Structure 1
Amino acid sequence: MGRFDGRTVFVTGATSGMGASHVRGFHAEGARVVVAGRDLAAAEKTALELGERAVAVRLDVTEEQEWVSAVQAAEERFGPVSVLVNNAGAQHAPALVEDTSREVWDRTLAVNLTGQFLGIKHVTPSLRRAGGGSIVTIASTMANTASPYYAPYAASKWALRGLTKAAALELGRDRIRVNSVHPGVVRTPLITSPADGGQHAIGDFYSPDPYAVPRLGEPGEVTALVLYLASDEAAFATGSEFVLDGGLLLGPALAA
């Protein structure tokens, strides 16, 4: 028996990185998974690999009508949604605030903040029809601190903290829990590949060597936390922030 037998789990940004890991983790625990992403071909490939308990939907999280269509498709295939994992996110090429274009600012907030708002807005009625459930928003350690050259990203993640907590207060009496996960530097293309045609990836500015756990995180480690928060084991957790960063926010550790 899996922790999510008979439940429908909707994951955004589900075709690569942490999202792909989350989809496979929920599926392995018995869930019916909705593989949502902008690249429909990639989403369909994943769904085909997973079999009849998976369906692919095209979803640009910044487009409200696409949310409406994606939730409708999920319910038509599997019934009401029990879990939403708001995973989709965008990084941008490093730049000082004064050198950041309005286009980059708007796009980053559209994906990282408005996209999560639209997910909560349009999946909540389905969660109510399921009798309750869980929303997990994927934030970042940059929601707790900041970094030079990444102001739009940091701003979007700080704002996401407020959105998560407000939603938790609004939805608690509907048996819907809302929590945020704050990964540190995890080995995904968002960290290891340059964004938006930039010459540097965020990983180029970071070394894990000084921290208590001196390595990059792995997507599966984040998935394990997401699975816990979405499960009945975390029934008393809502509006909370769960940091998974190997000690990054703590600062440099005592040398061995």
Structure 2
Amino acid sequence: MSAKLEGKTAVVTGAAGALGSAVATHFATEGIRAIVLADINLDAVGALAETLRAQDIEVVAEHLDVADGDEFDALIHNAAVRFGAIDTLVNTAGIVSPNARIHNLSTADWERSMSVNLTGTFHGIRAVARTARKKTNVSIVNIASVSGLTAWTYAAPYCASKAGVIHLTRVAALEYAKEGIRVNAVCPGTFPTALHDSLPADALTAIEDRHPLGFGAPTDLTGAVAFLASDESRWVTGHSLVVDGGYSLP
């Protein structure tokens, strides 16, 4: 059986994070030819870049603040020039919102979540659309969340931003289907990462109890991302694939 991503190129944002690094590592096992590891913390992707280069993959590590649309445009353009084409963008960059009820949130709290989680995803889609239109079967995979499908207390900015990602995915899929760009999302349940360090232990336990299969790990999502990035999903667009350990079951 051939690798799903044989000969393809990819850009992964949030590559220093738990999910971004897991996606990049999995893409290496699926035959990716070249990859851009993009993160606001450039130093943190160095070790991952060296690991992938040792597997004969062309790797570029780049600084990226996804909230900066001009920087995102430049990164996608430069990657397309360097690699000849961009086949896949995976938008994994994201932040959690403060653990607070709405009346205790500042406007800055709200805007920070939106700028990274939603506007950052918009910037990525826009950059690819500007660069890669008319190229057959380009895939964008956005990381949303089951929190965009359900309501969580104490997390209004995060839930709203991820709901926005889900609907933005559908709109972009409709707008660019005729131009060879597929846009899908993955909606993970919760898996503990550094982003959840601010949560009290009892809150984290309560969240785990809502997952019939328990907490997952970033590696539980990478197969779904690879499927949506690959030609196996060439007739799939506008879909939000739930990978949540049963969290969203009634």
Task: Calculate the TM-score normalised by the size of structure 1.
Answer: 0.89
Q: Quick one: distance in 2 between partners of 1:126 and 1:7?
A: 16
Residue 101 of structure 2 is aligned to residue 96 of structure 1: yes
Contact 1:82–1:133 (Cα < 8 Å) also in 2: yes
Supply the RMSD in Å over aligned alpha carbons.
1.8
Please give the alpha-carbon distance, in whole angstroms, between the structure 1 residues aligned to 2:202 and 2:147: 12
2:48 to 37, 43, 46: 46
User: In 2 relative to 1, CA 169–68 (structure 1 residues): closer, same or farther, beyond 3 Å?
Assistant: same
2:248 aligned residue: 249
In 1, the alpha carbon distance for the partners of 2:210 and 2:163 equals 25
Q: CA deviation at 1:188?
A: 2.2
- Within the candidate set 61, 65, 73, 1:68 is matched to 73
Q: Equivalent pairs: percent with the same residue?
A: 38
Residues 236 and 131 of structure 1: CA distance in aligned 2, closer, same or farther (over 3 Å): closer
- Say if 2:4 and 2:232, in contact at 8 Å, map to a contact too: no
- Per-residue deviation, 1:76: 3.5
- 2:36 aligned partner: 34
Other-structure match for 1:120? 125
Give the alignment partner of residue 182 of structure 1, picking from 187, 191, 200: 187
Tell me how far 1:178 sits from its aligned partner: 0.8
Structure 1 residues 225-234 or 72-81, which shifts more? 72-81
Return the TM-score normalized by structure 2.
0.91
Q: What amino acid is aligned across from residue 160 of structure 1 in structure 2?
A: V
Distance 2:202 2:87 in 1: 34
Which range moved further: 31-40 or 120-129? 120-129
Cα separation, 1, equivalents of 2:201 and 2:22: 21
Distance 1:173 1:56, change over 3 A: same
Q: How many residues align?
A: 245
Task: Assess if the C-alpha contact under 8 Å between 1:212 and 1:246 holds in 2.
Answer: yes
**Could you tell me whether the CA contact under 8 Å between 1:13 and 1:88 is conserved in 2?**
yes
Sort the Cα spacing of 1:201 and 1:104 in 2 relative to 1 into closer, same or farther, 3 A: farther
For the Cα contact (< 8 Å) 1:93–1:201, is it kept in 2? no
Does the residue aligned with 1:136 lie in a helix, a strand or coil?
strand
- Does structure 1 residue 20 correspond to structure 2 residue 21? yes
Structure 1: unaligned runs, 5 residues or longer: 252-256
The aligned runs of 1:196-235 (5 Å cut-off) are: 200=200, 204=204, 206-209=206-209, 211-213=211-213, 215-235=214-234
2:62 is matched with 57
Letter in 1 for 2:179: D
Query: Does the Cα contact within 8 Å between 1:80 and 1:129 map onto a contact in 2?
Result: no
CA–CA distance in 1 between the matches of 2:118 and 2:239? 18
| SS at structure 2 position matched to 1:57 | strand
CA deviation after TM superposition for structure 1 residue 75, in Å: 2.3
Q: Aligned to 1:132, which of 137, 145, 167?
A: 137
For the Cα contact (< 8 Å) 1:94–1:200, is it kept in 2? no
**Structure 2 residue ranges without an equivalent (≥5):** none
**1:79-115 deviations in whole A, cap 9, x for unaligned?**
2110011111111220110000111100000000000
